[in-house]
Amino acid sequence: MRILVTGGAGFIGSHYVRTLLAGGYPGYEDTRVTVLDKLTYAGHLSNLPTEDPRLDFVRGDICDLPLLLDVLPGHDAVVHFAAESHVDRSIEAAADFVRTNVGGTQSVLEACLRTGVERVVHVSTDEVYGSIAEGSWTETWPLEPNTLYASSKAGSDLVARSYVHTHGLNLSITRCSNNYGPHQHPEKLIPLFITNLLAGESVPLYGDGRNIREWLHVDDHCRAIHTVLTRGRAGEIYNVGGGNEQTNLQITGRLLELCGADESMIRWVADRKGHDLRYSIDESKIREELGYEPRISFEEGLRDTVAWYRDNPGWWKSIKHQQAEA
Ligand code: NAD
């Protein structure tokens, strides 16, 4: 089997590629992988086992249809991760989000259609549903995105839906809650707070810290994506969650403990514009239909994640340095 992974040099895509090439998905040990990635500020070749002969890397933009038409022939499946992914950046740079997330997804799916790719997974997010005060979203919940990141992802989901209904593309969509784990860019809450604390710096906590997110370890998310790729039904959406709801203040408290710091390291900052209050996923469909369930508890996953950042300062220090220079 040969799989093309867009955005495979980023946080989640690279975890998927490393796991796949390391034989982490039984029955797919011989899979060959092509990563197509623009290497924006969020993509890093060092996230990938570039020495593996089963991995090909192509630097390119998912909006570049001629490039996709050139690269895609010979691939059996596409897992589409590439996106602009940081809500804070979408406040100031909405055009980049619409271009890559909506326009880029359309190019990827058009190229899949024209080159006869047999199976596609479009990796989306629970943020397309908006914010929910009580209860949890099922896959049939209306799309009510509040941020420019979320609306551009919702747009990409609608484009994907239309490629299924108009052209019969064999595609499924996953919508996952917040991920954490190794190799996550230190602009996101958990790695930002860990790396600041490891460097002896304070952590900027938005608003009153009461925003609730549901957290899932990246390894569980990737296993869910692979399950959907191999056994999901065409045209279906699968929510992926962890059932682990935490306020940002609770997470901060746990990270302070794990990093040996105290509350004096919290720096309260003005709330994010349009900050969604609560996300909560009903994932019974993927559990009941595909037998998927998460394996890594939040406590264990968070401890391992802190240990990874502690053991790999070279990785995050160079990224923080590049960010400071930009
Ligand atoms: P990331 O920002 O770490 O990685 C994105 C990757 O896409 C980078 O390697 C970047 O270089 C690449 N990329 C960006 N624009 C591109 C373009 N125009 N052409 C080619 N490559 C491009 O993101 P992530 O956290 O790994 O998220 C991956 C996917 O998962 C995204 O679609 C995101 O919406 C979705 N998702 C993320 C989370 C989360 O908590 N991080 C949760 C649910 C869903």
Quote the domain boundaries for residue 173.
2-180+218-242+274-296
Catalytic (active site) residue 311: no
pTM over 0.85? The answer is yes
**Confidence (pLDDT) at 16:** 98
Beta-strand pair 245-247/212-217:
antiparallel
| Catalytic annotation, pick one of 127, 157, 220, 276 | 127
Q: What CATH number has the domain bearing residue 109?
A: 3.40.50.720
C-alpha distance from residue 248 to each of 23, 59, 92, 204, 302 (Å):
35, 36, 23, 11, 14
Q: Which residues are CB-neighbours of 50 under 8 A, at least 6 positions away?
A: 57
Taking the C-alpha atoms of residue 31 and residue 14, their distance in angstroms, rounded to an integer, is 15
- CA-closest residue to ligand 1 atom 41: 179
Q: Which residues are CB-neighbours of 184 under 8 A, at least 6 positions away?
A: 11, 190, 191, 218
Find the DSSP H helices in the chain: 11-21, 65-71, 87-92, 94-97, 105-115, 148-167, 189-198, 218-231, 248-258, 284-290, 298-311, 313-325
pLDDT band of residue 120 (cuts 50, 70, 90) is very high
Catalytic (active site) residue 30: no
Q: How far is the CA of 11 from the centre of ligand 1 (A)?
A: 7
Q: Domain total for the chain?
A: 1
Which range is least confidently modeled, 53-57, 58-62, 205-209, 321-325?
A: 321-325
**Residue 270 one-letter amino acid:** A
b/e burial code for range 99-119 (CB count within 10 A of at least 16 → b): bbbbbbbbbbbbbbbebebeb
pLDDT band of residue 281 (cuts 50, 70, 90) is very high
Report if residue 257 sits inside a domain: no
User: Region 284-308: what's the mean pLDDT?
Assistant: 97
Report if residue 321 sits inside a domain: no
- CA-closest residue to ligand 1 atom 15: 83
Q: Measured from the CA of 127, which atom of ligand 1 is nearest?
A: 43
Report if residue 208 sits inside a domain: no
- Out of 19, 84, 85, mutate this one to test ligand 1's pocket (max ligand atoms within 8 Å of CB): namely 85
pLDDT band of residue 131 (cuts 50, 70, 90) is very high
Q: Which residues are CB-neighbours of 206 under 8 A, at least 6 positions away?
A: 248, 269, 270, 271, 272, 275
Q: How far is the CA of 318 from the centre of ligand 1 (A)?
A: 19
Catalytic (active site) residue 149: yes
Contact status, residue 121 vs residue 225, Cβ threshold 8 Å:
yes
Taking the C-alpha atoms of residue 287 and residue 234, their distance in angstroms, rounded to an integer, is 17
69 class by beta-carbon count within 10 Å (0-12 exposed, 13-18 middle, 19+ buried): middle
pLDDT tens-digit readout, 16-25: 999 999 999 9
**How high is the mean pLDDT of the chain?**
96
- CA-closest residue to ligand 1 atom 35: 124
- CA-closest residue to ligand 1 atom 5: 10
Instruction: Provide the 3-class DSSP secondary structure of residue 164.
Output: helix
Phi, psi angles (nearest 5°) of residue 255: -65, -35
Instruction: Provide the 3-class DSSP secondary structure of residue 133.
Output: coil
Report if residue 324 sits inside a domain: no
Taking the C-alpha atoms of residue 317 and residue 186, their distance in angstroms, rounded to an integer, is 9
Q: Give the position of tokens 């809500």.
A: 87
Instruction: Provide the 3-class DSSP secondary structure of residue 242.
Output: coil
**Residue 202 one-letter amino acid:** S
Q: How far is the CA of 184 from the centre of ligand 1 (A)?
A: 10
| Joined tokens for residue 188 | 């996101």
| Joined tokens for residue 168 | 């019969």
Contact status, residue 242 vs residue 307, Cβ threshold 8 Å:
no
Cα separation of the two ends of the chain = 40
Q: Give the position of tokens 């930002």.
A: 192
Report if residue 319 sits inside a domain: no
Report if residue 201 sits inside a domain: no
Report if residue 79 sits inside a domain: yes
| Joined tokens for residue 227 | 């399950």
**Confidence (pLDDT) at 138:** 98
Contact status, residue 54 vs residue 28, Cβ threshold 8 Å:
no
Report if residue 325 sits inside a domain: no
pLDDT tens-digit readout, 1-45: 999 999 999 999 999 999 999 999 999 999 999 999 999 999 999
Q: Which residues line ligand 1 (CB under 6 A)?
A: 6-7, 9-13, 37-40, 42-43, 61-63, 81-85, 100, 104, 123, 125, 153, 176, 178-179, 185
